[in-house]
Chain A
Amino acid sequence: MKADRIDNTVYSLHDVWFSYKTPPVLEDITLLIKKGKFYGLIGPNGSGKTTLLDLLAATARPEKGTIFFKDKLISTYQKKELACMLALVPQDFTLGFDYTVFDVVLMGRHPHIPRFSNPSPEDLALVDDALEIMDITVLRNRPVTDLSGGEKQRVVVARALAQNTDVVILDEATSNLDIRHTIEIMRIFYKRVTQKEITVIAAIHDLNLAASFCDELIVLKDNKVAATGPVVEVLTQQLVKETFGVDSHVSLHPETQTPRIEYEFKRKLN
């Protein structure tokens, strides 16, 4: 049992608190995140999703409580060491200078390339793969600053793929994309979770998207964990009502047996 815990636990958070100023943004977060699963992080705006992801990505430190990443406290890792194991895909992306698509995707290999060394053939192969998977090989030599929002976001995802980590954190990574690219990106990570046993933790606004691709959900509300567990168990009419204050109807998809949410839009006035 104990060995199993060490092998399969990617993150273990105990009584984690965080605040920018008072009042706290996160309170008493206790969580277990296991290897090889797709986690969806849902919750209303301002519920602390991005902050939680920052703590998981070690770009912020908790005020109180402990965060274990694999078998060590996350704060005891070197930044570079951590960067070889976990990648972050942010929601938006600005670049000050006109680096090419290739340059930016190659930056994903940064933690793997020693200082003053050139990228190895393996690094270049991973970059080519990532460009291919994201279908942006044709944009390879274009300056990123010239691309459309959707193209840029695919570059960012490609950069994270090239980083080739076994944990990936998506911070609303698809919320600026059209439905086709959204589904494509979610499928790419879903495939990596099932085939390569990587762990994905994704903050997602679209509950149907979360329900279709995630194995487990973490629900944040009022800076606390409101629920965690398998999607089918967590995502209920009652939860949607309590968390988001919205009436809905939840049913199971006949083929995939994943929950489907139909919202009560209340178009009838009165």
Chain B
Amino acid sequence: MGFLKISPIEVLQVLSAKITGSSLPASMNPVYGLVIMDVRLPRILTSAIVGGGLAVAGGVFQAILLNPLADPYTLGISSGAAFGASMVLLLTLIGISIPAWISVPLFAFLGAIGTLFAVFSLASPNSRLSSNTLILSGVIVASILAAGIGFIKYLADEKVGVIIFWLMGSFVGKSWTDVVLTLSFTIPGLLVILYFSRDLNIMALGERTAETLGIDTVKTRRLLLIWASLITAICVSVSGIIGFIGLIVPHLLRHLLGPDNRILLPACFFGGAILLLLADTITRAILPSELPIGILTSLIGGPFFCYIFKKRQQGAR
């Protein structure tokens, strides 16, 4: 599938040849090997890891905010990461250039963490964090950041294409560097999150009760929010803003598997990986011309969000 037609059998031949270390069949176009190993496989793996990472981050945000509608957006984290990544462009414009592979993830993380702190300090005059004000602050900060990205877009006139990439998301041209980068943050993040998953369950009872059940809620909350933001930032720095994966996956899986985070969060990783890989395959291979992945997920995710929202309104007592 894709621009270059390669049959499934040929794909398997290339993969097995690479794994066993033998050379490709002589009949095959040698470009196929290159395309599969250096273009398609990294792209497939990156989209799966990013999907998994965003879904886990969404699951953590939902569990912490006690709101099934929360995801990296409601906290403004994705916008913060995209804003940070866009800043790199601004820096190159004024003549400071840092290698992109380090500066982009770093600035995305700084943007995400900066946003997290901005949202925190806006939400809480003291160290307690109330869920509703947190979401509201997230929305406010996100809208300021969107304007900020727009401003950078204005300044960087000729490089609009790159900024559009941050805003719409894409897996075009992903390399093994991206695979290693995303994997080396999502896996440790997932482990930390799993370590605290039972505490996260208890926190559904509310802060005060969770405290009396032996959980340092402020500390646990902060640690998990930072890790979820870090995962989000790395994902955004690699693929731009991809919406609603962090919302849809935890929500659907919670229906299927129940709310227990010990089961739900690992399932989110795999569910998110499968869903985003599927979506990326659609944009890459099935649609006539390649569509930015963020547009596709928003087209599907937006109405889904409305549906859950409406259902929740009706179900609310």
* Interface positions of A (Cβ within 8 A of B): 54, 57-59, 78-84, 86-88, 90, 93-99, 103-104, 107-108, 110-111, 115, 159, 163, 169
Contacts and interface: CB of A to CB of B under 8 A. Distances in A.
Contacts of B213: 83, 107-108, 110-111, 163
Nearest to B315: A145
Contacts of B66: 94, 96-97
A34 to B, nearest CB: 21
Contacts of B259: 97-99
Nearest to A54: B208
Contacts of A58: 211-212
A107 B202 contact: yes
A110 B214 contact: yes
A145 to B, nearest CB: 9
A88 B209 contact: yes
B291 interface: no
10 contacts: A79-B214, A83-B213, A96-B204, A99-B259, A107-B202, A110-B198, A110-B202, A110-B214, A115-B198, A159-B205
B204 A88 contact: no
B260 interface: yes
A86 B206 CA distance: 17
B221 to A, nearest CB: 14
B198 A88 contact: no
Contacts of A57: 208, 211-212
A115 B67 CA distance: 25
Given A94-B206, A97-B204, A108-B213, 10 more contacts: A59-B208, A59-B212, A90-B206, A93-B209, A97-B259, A103-B201, A103-B260, A104-B205, A107-B201, A110-B215
B284 interface: no
Contacts of A108: 213
B132 to A, nearest CB: 11
A81 B214 CA distance: 7
Nearest to A109: B213
B204 A95 contact: yes
Interface string B229-260: 00000000000000000000000001000111
A247 B63 CA distance: 49
